[in-house]
Amino acid sequence: MAIRHYVYAAGIAAGLALLAACGDDVTEVTEVNGKASFEEVKKFKELPKCDEDAEGSLVYVKDSAKVFVCTGDGWNQLDGSDGKDGKNGSSGDDGSNCVAKQNKKKTGFDVICDGKMVGSIMNGSDGKAGKAGSDGSMNCSAKQNKKKNGFDIVCDGKTVGTITNGSVGEDCSLTEGENGTAVVKCGEDGEPVTLFSAYCGAKNFDPTTQFCGNDLVAYPLCHNAPENLAGDLHSDGTYDVENYFCDATDILLNKCFGQSYDNTTQFCASALGVMDRCESVAEGVDEEEALFGDKSFNASLYFCNKGVLYEKCGGMTYDPELQFCEDGEVQTLCGGEPYDIEQSMCVDGEIVDAWACCYPEGQNENWCNLHKDSKYDVRTHFCDNRKNTDGETRVYKFKTFNDGVNYSETWMLENLDFDNTADDESRCYNDDSENCKKYGHLYTWDAANTYCPTGWRLPTMSEYKEFIYAGFIPKKDFNVQLGGRYYGTWAGVGAWMELWTADIIDATHGQPGYVNSFDSFTFYTAENVTLKKYLYSVRCIKKK
């Protein structure tokens, strides 16, 4: 059988030479140390160079079924052809057929001759001695034992020993002192050492500077109290921890709504709780009036921000680096600067004028000097600069309604009041101009679809429905102006309003909506259509 395994051993050439003519009395080879190899090649000429590095290697040459070993004399063939005592092979025992097979533990190879294991070759080399490990460290503490007759020494959560009261070792003693202390003395002339191992709940504490409250929390003993609290500080330095605390300067003080604080930097501001003391005041704040001698203040009127005292804004505090107070309301700074919110607005971090003049077409800047009502706030109003039959322009209030989810539309909050014709397409209720000033004009359907200002248009019935379904209420949000209607006779002023929609039914009929003084909106159906020549009010919606 061919030997085809790879093995490491020292002196393997000499060891396996004993197997060259294996008989029944094969010498056992075991625990051989060193390095060797067992390899296989196809042809003899493929054997590697037999030098010092290869010495002791075994190679099986497949084409000749021979095993060669590398020794100081080069490659030598191993065979087992003749018996030990035979002569010319005639009377000697037949040589045994031997193989090397990896053992079950894969730690080396077993040598098997004629099916019998005659020895073992083990892998590996001598290991080196390991280095000495470093000392470990433990976190240790002393804790009074359950019997209260001594102390357990606990290291890393494990009790490693116990010191009992009385004799400790040959020359030391441990006795229990007051307030849970223990005194250790070694030798007759040794100085006694006091151990503070008293426990309050699950934690130890120093009873010379602390005491254990009823809530099993350690509190500092106090030694001073103001005159009004002198009777609340006990002679041993303890006190009622629910109502008092000892501050950083060793003075007994009332808690501030159950909260202790640092009296050197804070104070109790009545029902508003603990406040920081303030060092200076902001511009415009009277220091003598606002800031008291101990740096406290009236917290219902002022607040402290980063050591500077400010006056509250409508009873509210704010961040002076981002906000300012204007007319009792907190506003956001614009580019880091405050501004007059009545006359200005912030656009992209720049303060700009919030007011403009509604010039009629063809007029110049002198118009506003003569017509003060032509000035308007661009944040809440827009200008219809078309000149009416009275020579004036109109300014309309508007609002963007947004439910924060699906609905967002901008509506006029006033009825349209534009008229530059002398025909009957638009009229004031009862032909009284004062009614136009109060309720706007009434229009035919054709005029309603024509007269909305530039950028605006007549809404559809669906858009009126969407407004109502979004949760907005006509009387509350829509600024309802009950201008009545004209059906050939005047009716309804102050009681209801009917509004044209852009919906067309046919060549002569349109579809209006209806709002009464009780704040309900009626969506007219096809059965409620009316002639386009009737006069109703108009609201416009902004184009998108």
Please write the tens of the pLDDT for every residue from 235-283: 999 999 999 999 999 999 999 999 999 999 999 997 789 999 999 999 9
Residues 325-383 pLDDT 10s:
999 999 999 999 999 999 999 999 999 999 999 988 778 878 888 888 889 999 999 99
Same domain, 116 and 170: no
Query: Residue 111 — φ and ψ, nearest 5°?
Result: -95, 120
Percent of the residues in the chain that have a pLDDT greater than 70, as a whole number:
74
Task: Give domain status of residue 503, yes or no.
Answer: yes
Task: Give domain status of residue 504, yes or no.
Answer: yes
Determine the Cα–Cα distance for residues 1 and 19; give it in Å rounded to an integer. 14
- Residue 40 confidence class, pLDDT cut points 50, 70, 90: confident
Same domain, 411 and 535: yes
Domain C-terminal end among 122, 148, 177: 122
Task: Give domain status of residue 365, yes or no.
Answer: no
Domain that holds residue 46: 12-122
Task: Give domain status of residue 98, yes or no.
Answer: yes
Same domain, 418 and 535: yes
- Residue 428: pLDDT over 70: yes
- Residue 106: pLDDT over 90: no
Domain C-terminal end among 205, 228, 253: 205
Same domain, 58 and 109: yes
Task: Give domain status of residue 78, yes or no.
Answer: yes
Same domain, 407 and 513: yes
Same domain, 483 and 421: yes
Same domain, 113 and 179: no
Same domain, 35 and 163: no
Same domain, 96 and 171: no
Res 288: pLDDT: 94
Residues 441-475 pLDDT 10s:
999 999 999 999 999 999 999 999 999 899 898 87
> Which has more confidence, 278 or 99?
278
Task: Give domain status of residue 378, yes or no.
Answer: no
Token duo for residue 383: 């200008």
Which of the residue ranges 81-85, 293-297, 307-311, 410-414 would you say has the lowest mean pLDDT? 81-85
Residues 146-182 pLDDT 10s:
777 666 666 556 664 566 665 444 467 767 766 556 6
- Residue 230: pLDDT over 80: yes
Looking at the 3D structure of the chain, how many domains does it have? 3
Same domain, 149 and 113: no
Residues 187-226 pLDDT 10s:
777 777 766 667 788 787 888 899 999 999 999 999 999 9
Task: Give domain status of residue 294, yes or no.
Answer: no
Res 159: pLDDT: 66
Helix (H) or strand (E) holding 530: strand 530-531
Same domain, 77 and 182: no
Residue 168 bridge partners (DSSP)? 172
243-280: burial string, b at 16+ Cβ within 10 Å, e else: ebbbbeeebbbebbeeebbebeebbbbeeeebbbbbee
Pairing of strands 38-41, 58-61: parallel
Same domain, 70 and 101: yes
For the chain, the average pLDDT equals: 80
Task: Give domain status of residue 280, yes or no.
Answer: no
Domain C-terminal end among 59, 88, 122: 122
